[in-house]
Amino acid sequence: MKLSQLVGRNLKRRPLATVLTTLSVALGVGLFSAIGALRQASEQAFERTAGMSNLVLGAKGSPLELTLNSLYHMGFSAGNIPYSAYQEYRETAGVQWCAPTVVGDAYRGFRIVGTTDEIFEVEVPGLGKPQLRDGEAWSHGPEDLDAFHAEVVAHAELDAHDHDHDHDHDHDHDHAHDHHDHTLEQLAEELGLFVAVVGATAAEETGLKVGSTFVPAHDVMTGADAHEDAPTRVVGILEPTGTPMDRAIFIPAGAFYAIAGHQATEQSSFGGTRDPHGVSAVLSYVTPKSGYHLRVRNAWNDRLDVQAAWPVIEVRKLFAVVGNIDAALRIIAILVVVVALVGVLVALSNTMAARQREFAVLRALGARRRTILALVVGESAAIALFGGILGVGLSALGAWVAAAQVRAMTGVSLSPLPGLADLLFLLAVTAVGALAGLVPAWRAYRTEAARALSSSL
């Protein structure tokens, strides 16, 4: 009988111990593999998104918070920067692409991002420009936004003038009301601003399709305070990009300014972070040639009203922090594997006394001592190998089952296929499992055939 057949037979003779120790190894290996898969997928997704924009402008504060809010649609905006800063920035030498964003609204938990049509010209690393799965993209560029923004400011100034001179200047008051006969909402409707292009995940989760109409809500977290005066029609659905764009709903920035509740009030702080006429952030790509990127970043960081964040650097800082948690979880997984392999050692050691006659018979039939040694080591290694394979399989199954939910929540795409690190860890576990079997194997190696057989007579 071959050695592999003997190993298989002996494992079958102790089904409970074999199954329990195999599951223990599988638990540790599966945990290790799952942590690695999540870390790798997250890092790749974050870095791919960071590659879309190599410089982001926003209000003074945490550059990491600015990056996460503007590029990844996470957290909350720190405030606005002056609209004039956006206009000046897009004319800056070296800026090849830029798109403003104004945020604060959502629909069923998915962020609504007011921007220009240049957002659809962004280069997604490894993919190119976003493609439409259905419908078409709306077309409202920077010049269109400038013109409508001027109308927004004019309406705000008229409101202030009307309020200050309500009783003293009846003619101006009447003129203001004549002007207000044409409201911002009406103007936005005439210009076709209440339209949206929806990311793939957002469309799937909300059921929005081309031709659907939805009402934005002012509260990102709860969806309260719906803007009933701004029904928005879906004109396009994006193909999946594997980036947070999949979870966003894009509307022309002019529509955002036109929505009631986004306009200036008596408490508005013009020019500051609460400026209702400002923009939340500016996404951009600055050419790295001739040192433009560094010069532009330093120049805008020197300003008092704006900061410039480098997304790639901020993402690396984030993963440097997350890496410590990742390392701790992996250590826990390794400890689980070690405890499982100790269990293998104990289980085999506990059966050595009962198996003395078996080894003696094998010796009497001509088996060498090293064959007995290999038999026991093989059993330990087989348990470790089967447990490792089961653990990698469970991790892959879990990634496959959770992939859709993880992508919907975070935009991260999990791959169920094991990586090189998983295979190397599997080999390492098998090798350590073989080493764990050396102690009981040594006892079997020292078995004296004659003594064992005579003691059983």
- At 368-387, the pLDDT tens digits run 777 777 877 888 888 889 98
Q: Report how far residue 325's alpha carbon sits from residue 42's, in angstroms, rounded to the nearest whole number.
A: 14
Task: Report residue 359's pLDDT band, with 50, 70 and 90 as the boundaries.
Answer: low
DSSP assignment letter at 240: P
* Whether pLDDT at 433 is above 90: no
pLDDT of residue 297: 93
Mean pLDDT, residues 147-162: 79
| Contacts with 174 (C-beta within 8 Å, 6 or more apart), sequence order | none
Token pair belonging to 292: 């433009």
Output the average pLDDT for the chain.
81
- In this predicted structure, which of 64-73, 155-164, 173-182, 432-441 has the lowest mean pLDDT? 173-182
Strand partners, 249: 112, 198
Measured from the Cβ of residue 292, the count of other Cβ atoms closer than 10 Å reads 17
Q: Is the pLDDT of residue 307 over 60?
A: yes
Q: Is the pLDDT of residue 178 over 50?
A: no
3-class DSSP assignment, residue 168: coil
**Scanning the structure block, which residue is given the tokens 């074999």?**
18
Handedness of CA 346, 350, 351, 355 (dihedral sign): positive
* Beta pairing class for 281-286 and 95-107: antiparallel
pLDDT digits (tens, 9 = 90+) for 198-219: 999 999 999 999 999 999 987 6
pTM above 0.85, yes or no: no
User: Which tokens sit at 275?
Assistant: 């400026």
Q: Which of 26-40, 104-118, 142-156 has the lowest mean pLDDT?
A: 26-40
Write down the H helix ranges in 142-280.
142-164, 170-180, 184-190, 200-206, 253-258
171 or 392, which is more confident: 392
> Given this model, what pLDDT does residue 177 score?
43
Note whether 75 and 69 are within 8 A (CB).
yes
> Rounded mean pLDDT of 250-261?
89
Rounded CA-CA distance 112/92 in Å is 28
Question: Which pLDDT value is given to residue 265?
Answer: 62
List, for residues 289-298, the tens digit of each pLDDT value: 888 899 999 9
What are 433's two structure tokens? Answer: 């499992």
Percentage of residues in the chain having pLDDT higher than 90: 34
Which pLDDT score, from 0 to 100, does residue 33 have? 85
Q: Is 223 left (phi over 0), alpha (psi -120 to 50) or beta?
A: left
